[in-house]
Amino acid sequence: MKTIINPNKKDWSELLKRPTQTVENIENTVTEIFNDVQRRGDKAITKYTELFDGVNLNEIQVSPAEIEKASSLVPEELKEAIQTAKANIETFHAAQKTERVSVQTSKGIDCWQEKRPIQKIGLYIPGGTAPLFSTVLMLAVPANIAGCKEIVLCSPPNKEGKIANEILYAAQLCGVTKVFKVGGIQAIAGLTFGTDAIPQVYKIFGPGNQYVTVAKQLATKYGVAIDMPAGPSELLVVADDTANASYVASDLLSQAEHGADSQVILVSTSKLLLDKVQSEIQKQILNLPRMEMTQKAIDNSKLIYVENDDIALELINEYAPEHFIICTKNEDFYVDNIANAGSVFIGNYTPESAGDYASGTNHTLPTNGFSKAYSGVNLDSFTKSITFQKITKEGILNIGNTIELMAEAEGLQAHKNAVTLRLNDLK
């Protein structure tokens, strides 16, 4: 990791750039595949699955028998761990339910807002270098709490044409209605347009590589909503001399092992801590099975020294991390003043891994600085807010002239007439 001492504020923008890989013609590739799937449906899906995943499938939907067999192969101890995580995620997201908001804005005018579930949703679960069965919990559990009727899951198959047993077990545990052995751009295109096999959905959730990210963004051009723009995973830790260097290093490495294009940053008011963490990283990384990939992410990452908490906070808010860990004596300062972060972890005994798996908060979060404007996935992500209003005779008499004057001023005579006709009948 590169160490930077007291970076000049004018250099922050360059310093805090994400190591996003540039892929030539990625948008052209995504558009080409979308057009093909829109024209040829499942035939195109099968073609790209063979091209990108190296397997030719006669049937892309996972059968109940396959799910049952896969579930039986998951060790009981892991099943219990998944069930514990599911229970905590349910508890946290169920608590996010809100009652109907109702108010009388004026005498005779009642307005209210109610939440309704998004009826059809698609979940994209990466297979790749690490099958993220935990993401099934993070997406399917709140979808069920919200009351979504159709929950369609897509995940890329391995060379044997199968999806990881843990993903299938989590899917059936959490009420997923259909599972498909489809990954990458073609999965997002299938969910966007619908095919003979894959249902069309209204909103797509889930992380993925750059191709999946661009595909999700393209899906919005066809009227399908997405959870958020998201790219490679990232973590920023702020720590001082009260932090445990070994713990900090382990947190940085835990996020770095997601992929070579992940990024981790340590911001500290202690040069000694930076040195200790650097040393711990070099020791701990040697024992990681994904050492080579993790090292590439560490090479793209930074140790930053600043003189005080105020400067640190300003820099952190500018970076807007996906995950933000606070290991400082003055933790309340950061908790109270952080403005831009996807999820915050407080204290030496709150590893980011807890949020990834089992504490109950959601791990589907905005990356690439999008936490300046986007929230992580939550219960509201699976619902829409619908407003209602009911106006009595007294109410239209009270507000009618206001509407007439405003409509006339905007030159919209029909709008005015819709009120005038009613007022004349009431006189």
Distance CA 227, CA 206 (A): 7
Q: Confirm whether residue 186 is marked as ligand binding.
A: yes
Distance CA 407, CA 412 (A): 5
Q: Confirm whether residue 124 is marked as ligand binding.
A: yes
Residue tagged active-site, from 234, 257, 280, 322: 322
Contact 266, 315 (CB under 8 A): no
Contact 287, 309 (CB under 8 A): no
Distance CA 81, CA 392 (A): 55
Angle (nearest 5°) at CA 401 between 395 and 406:
120
If you compute the radius of gyration of the chain from its CA atoms, what whole number of angstroms results?
25
Q: What is the 3-state secondary structure (H, E, C) of 267-324?
A: EECCHHHHHHHHHHHHHHHHHCCCHHHHHHHHHCCEEEECCCHHHHHHHHHHHCCCEE
Q: How many other C-beta atoms can be found within 10 angstroms of the C-beta atom of residue 286?
A: 9
Angle (nearest 5°) at CA 40 between 38 and 43:
125
Q: Confirm whether residue 310 is marked as ligand binding.
A: no
Q: Confirm whether residue 278 is marked as ligand binding.
A: no
- State the virtual CA torsion across 366, 267, 248, 253 in degrees, nearest 10: 50
98: tokens are: 């809100």
Active site residue 322: yes
Q: Confirm whether residue 363 is marked as ligand binding.
A: no
20: tokens are: 């996003």
Using alpha carbons, select from 8, 259, 241 the residue that is nearest to residue 130: 259
Q: Confirm whether residue 93 is marked as ligand binding.
A: no
Q: Confirm whether residue 309 is marked as ligand binding.
A: no
β-pair type (109-117, 101-106): antiparallel
Using alpha carbons, select from 245, 306, 256 the residue that is nearest to residue 279: 245
Phi then psi for residue 416, to 5 deg, are -65, -45
Active site residue 93: no
Residue tagged active-site, from 234, 280, 323, 352: 323
Q: Confirm whether residue 217 is marked as ligand binding.
A: no
Binding-site residues sit at 124, 186, 209, 233, 255, 258, 323, 356, 410, 415
Binding-site residues for substrate sit at 233, 255, 258, 323, 356, 410, 415
Binding-site residues for NAD(+) sit at 124, 186, 209
The residues that are catalytic are 322-323
Binding-site residues for Zn(2+) sit at 255, 258, 356, 415
